[in-house]
Structure 1
Amino acid sequence: MIVQSPLKKREARPNLRRVPLPDLDSPNPSSNGKRKSAQRVNRTMTRRLQDIKPWKVILGTVILGAFGFLYLTHVFATQRLLEEVQQLESQYNIIRSQHDALQLQYDRMVGPADIYNKAEAAGFINGGPADKVIVIKE
């Protein structure tokens, strides 16, 4: 326990910090500070809105419109290119299927079965498989 003598008085400095007294009407005393900060935010927002000049709004709108126009132009050009690519791809598929059919026909013409048939018609004798064993006599 600390006991202080009534004979010795301390010099107390005045309180320089002004603390507002709480509202008696307010049910929650801690919400008092929140209200003031909200009022400050509202004041700064109204000041910011007042600082916006009409020419800035007009310029922003024109720039936004120009970017929107450029974007839409790009989208339509991309769609046109996509249609061209799809058309060229379908033509390529048709030509590739024709090439494959002609390649198959050519392979049949120069293939071994056709050559053997032409050789027999010309009078050549089939020698059989080429992997016969060669026997050397001593």
Structure 2
Amino acid sequence: MKEPVYTITDWYDGPRRGVANFDGKPYYYECQWYAGIDAGFEAVPGDYLLTPLDAETYQLALEDWAIWERWEAAFAAGTTTQATHPTLPEDQARHDEIEQVLLTKLVTNLHFCQRATGRFHYIGGKSFVEWTTIL
């Protein structure tokens, strides 16, 4: 089943970190191979560790993503430059506040995470992922 991808906060030859649904609930996903996480088993580029998110963290991640999307739209329109990345000046203070919280909340928790392979799809300008649990 295709699940919605809400954020892609790190990209290297594909999504490596962000927030997406897993079994209908928001999770932080992180590519174990890319992050260099030693979870006690061999990691490959398509394997992800999925950590459930609480409602507050999920909402903050969405808010920060919206801040980045405003920057991206302004950059595409030519109304801002790369020098302001990743936020517009008017969003900088809020982004900094959110970022401080998310640094401690958007992390892989090896005690509560699921391991899955992820196949990402892009349909109509939106991102989706199909997870297959790895036992």
TM range (shorter): under 0.3
Higher relative contact order (CA 8 A, sep 6+): 2
Q: Which has the higher strand share?
A: 2
What TM-score comes out, normalization by structure 2 length? 0.20
What TM-score comes out, normalization by structure 1 length? 0.20
Q: Which has the higher helix share?
A: 1
